[in-house]
A and B are shown apart, each in its own frame.
Chain A
Amino acid sequence: METITKNSSLNIQKIRQDFPILFQKVNGKLLVYLDSGATAQKPRQVIDAISCYYQSQNANIHRGVHQLSQEITVAYENARVTVQKHLNATLPQEIIFTSGTTESINLVANSFGKKYVKSGDEIIVSEMEHHSNILPWQILCEEKGAVLKVIPINENGELIINEFKKLLSNKTKIVAVTHISNTLGTINPVRKIIALAHEKNIPVLIDGAQAVPHMKVDVQALDADFYCFSGHKLFGPTGVGILYGKEKWLSEMPPYKVGGGTIKTVSFEKTEYADLPLKFEAGTPHIEGGIGLAAAINYVNEIGLENIGTYEFELLEYATLKLAAIEGLRIIGTAKEKAPVISFVIEEVHPLDIGIILDKQGIAVRTGHHCTQPLMEHYGIPGTIRASLVFYNTKEEIDALVNGIQKAIKMLK
């Protein structure tokens, strides 16, 4: 991987230097990491921020009078403001730190569901959702006697908006859809989806886990009611995530998990809960996670999400062209609007076998159903091989993938 990808304004070789793990050898080969959709690698700036936290900043936040506690409280709250500005949220208290997208969705399903959903109501999700954006709603529906409605997709893997319109009714309490499909790479028209739901005063939750690493998200421009993402897919630490919620919803919703930090006063007769955002942040939070996430956001903003988008589109086009030329290979997910996520199957070969042979060549991809079993059922396949690309990937790595697949096919057939 010595040659330099030059076609874009980004200096990819210089950017790669920020990611120490990319210089590791796997099975004797230089790592080709094409699984950033599962979790992205971390730049030195994030690793340093976490290391610095433990070496010189560690204290508990929000409760100490001592210097360290006060300093880290300020740093943690600044991290919240970094997220707020990045998403263009109106207020810092609209940013809730969670453990990840999964917890963010569970929080809304539990808390919003407890207050607003009752028997006979309907909740809309889509056929391309990750299990994390199906199961919390399914459980809520079972508990409340509500009904889960599903927006279908067309053969390209795009949501059928006309069908969505038909599903919206005065029984609909919330719509929960993904911004970008983790399996298909489809970029959904979330702005339109939100506008359509809002015509009937229905709030919308967007699962942004796969979107935030690739594009600038403006929650005000989208007019999203809730927007969720994970730190680790945005080049930040694992175990930290964000729930953005409009203040009007969050302030009315009851606490989800309770404990230290979520209260104003407690007695055995009556507890008064804290204001936002602390109402939703029980217990000692993932402090270094918040600090690391802010470092990751600053990092991508320094490179510029617009530059990232331009370069990643180049990668996607190159990879699509090269992969489609492999005999017997079929790309699953051919939406017009796509992120650099490419799922595919190969005739007469199991995805797992391809994944194993690629791994032996130092190439990391994801195989399986990608936690989207209903989608696999739609396409009638057991799983796919998925290459998910980000800005630290190169065209040379795509060439390595193509060669690796050809070798695997030769061995397996």
Chain B
Amino acid sequence: MSISEIENEIVEEFELFGNDWEGKYEHLIDLGKHLPLIDKKYKTDDRLIKGCQSKVWLHSELINEKVVFTADSDAIITKGIIALMIRSISGLTADAIINAQFEFINKIGLIEHLSPTRSNGLVSMIKQMKLDALAYKVQS
């Protein structure tokens, strides 16, 4: 699937909840709980993205020309949003990741979590994802 197909799928998934914030956040929490665990050896301080409040660990690998991300956070809602982001871009080419806009986050009504005031580390995580992709692009 292309990035836009995946994003549309996520948007449709969240449309089911309409204005039901509880349902939406329960789903997000559930996604967070089921985010595949990052390999413990990558959960180190040098891979830590420090938000003001929650911590995010990010790891990337280049497998068959595709960038694959794994991540973790100590806050569960942050983790849920990470799960959505990884679902939308992990396994794509470096170029696709560099150009990703994550517009679906706005469409599903979670944009507040990407505002700089949220200080949950997600804005820095996106930056790091793109930097990693750029590094792989330069290497290849």
Contact B21 A27 (CB under 8 A): yes
User: How many residues does chain B have at the interface if contact means C-beta atoms less than 8 Å apart?
Assistant: 17
CB nearest neighbor in A for B73: A350
Indicate which residue in A27, A367, A369, A382 contacts B74 across the interface (CB closer than 8 Å). Answer: A382
In the bound complex, CA of A356 to CA of B29 (Å): 12
Say which size band chain A's interface belongs to: 10 to 19
Q: From known contacts A350-B76, A352-B77, A368-B119, infer whether A411 and B25 are also in contact, taking CB-CB under 8 Å.
A: yes
Complex CA distance for A350 and B52, rounded to whole angstroms = 13
Contact between chains at A352 and B120 (CB < 8 Å): yes
Once A353-B75, A367-B53, A368-B52 are accepted as A-B contacts, the answer to whether A411 and B21 lie under 8 Å apart by CB is: no
Q: Mark A332-357, 1 if CB is under 8 A from B, else 0.
A: 00000000000000000111110011
Complex interface residues of chain B between 97 and 132 (CB less than 8 A to chain A)? 113, 119-120
Report B-chain residues with C-beta under 8 Å of the C-beta of A369.
52-53
- Complex Cα gap A382–B21 (Å): 27
Whether A357 pairs with B53 at a CB distance below 8 angstroms is no
Contact with A351, one of B25, B53, B55, B113 (Cβ below 8 angstroms): B53
Task: Answer whether residue A404 sits at the interface, using C-beta atoms and an 8 A cutoff.
Answer: no
Does the CB pair A383–B25 fall under 8 Å?
no
How far, in angstroms, from A383 to B78 measured CA to CA in the complex? 16
- Given known A-B contacts A352-B120, A360-B21, A412-B29, A368 and B53 have beta carbons under 8 A apart: yes
B60 at the interface (CB under 8 A from A): no
- Which of the residues B22, B52, B55, B77 comes within 8 Å of A353, measured between beta carbons? B77
CA distance A350 to B21 in the complex (A): 19
A360 touching B77 by the CB < 8 A rule? no
Listed residue (B21, B26, B53, B120) with the most chain A CB atoms within 10 angstroms of its CB: B53
Q: Are B53 and A383 in contact (CB under 8 A)?
A: yes
Q: For A355, give the chain B residue with the smallest CB separation.
A: B53
Q: How many A-B residue pairs have CB under 8 A?
A: 41
Q: Which residues of A contact B52 (CB under 8 A)?
A: 368-369
- Is A352 in contact with B78, judged by CB distance below 8 angstroms? yes
Q: At the interface, yes or no: B54 with Cβ under 8 Å from chain A?
A: yes
Query: Which residues of the partner chain A approach B75 to less than 8 Å between Cβ atoms?
Result: 350, 352-353
The residue of chain B having its C-beta at the shortest distance from the C-beta of A351 within the complex is B53
Once the chains bind, are A350 and B54 in contact (CB under 8 Å)? yes
In whole angstroms, how far apart are the Cα atoms of A356 and B21 in the complex?
11
Contacts of A367 in B (CB 8 A): 53
Nearest B-chain residue to A356, judged by Cβ: B77
B76 to A412, Cβ gap below 8 A? yes
Evaluate contact between A411 and B53: CB separation under 8 angstroms. no
Closest residue of A by beta carbon distance from B74: A350
A contact residues around B22 at 8 Å (CB)? 360, 411
CB-CB under 8 A from A353, the residues of chain B are: 75-78
Q: What residues of chain A lie closer than 8 Å to B55, measured between beta carbons?
A: 382
Name B55's closest neighbour in chain A (CB-CB).
Answer: A382
Chain A neighbourhood of B77, CB < 8 A = 352-353, 356
Q: Contact mask A371-402 → B, CB, 8 Å, 1/0?
A: 00000000000110000000000000000000
In the bound complex, residues from chain A placing their C-beta under 8 Å from that of B119 are 368
Which A-chain residue is minimally distant from B76 (CB atoms)? A353
Find residues 35-68 in chain B having any chain A CB closer than 8 Å to their own CB.
52-55
Q: Which of A353, A357, A367 has the most CB of B within 10 A?
A: A353
Query: With A and B bound together, what is the CA distance between A201 and B26 in angstroms?
Result: 60
A: residues with CB less than 8 A from B are: 27, 349-353, 356-357, 360, 367-369, 382-383, 411-412
Residues of B whose CB lies within 8 Å of any CB of A are 21-22, 25-26, 29, 52-55, 74-78, 113, 119-120
Q: Can you list 15 A-B contacts with CB-CB less than 8 angstroms, sorted by A residue number?
A: A350-B76, A352-B53, A352-B77, A352-B78, A352-B120, A353-B75, A353-B78, A356-B113, A360-B22, A367-B53, A368-B53, A369-B53, A382-B55, A383-B53, A411-B29
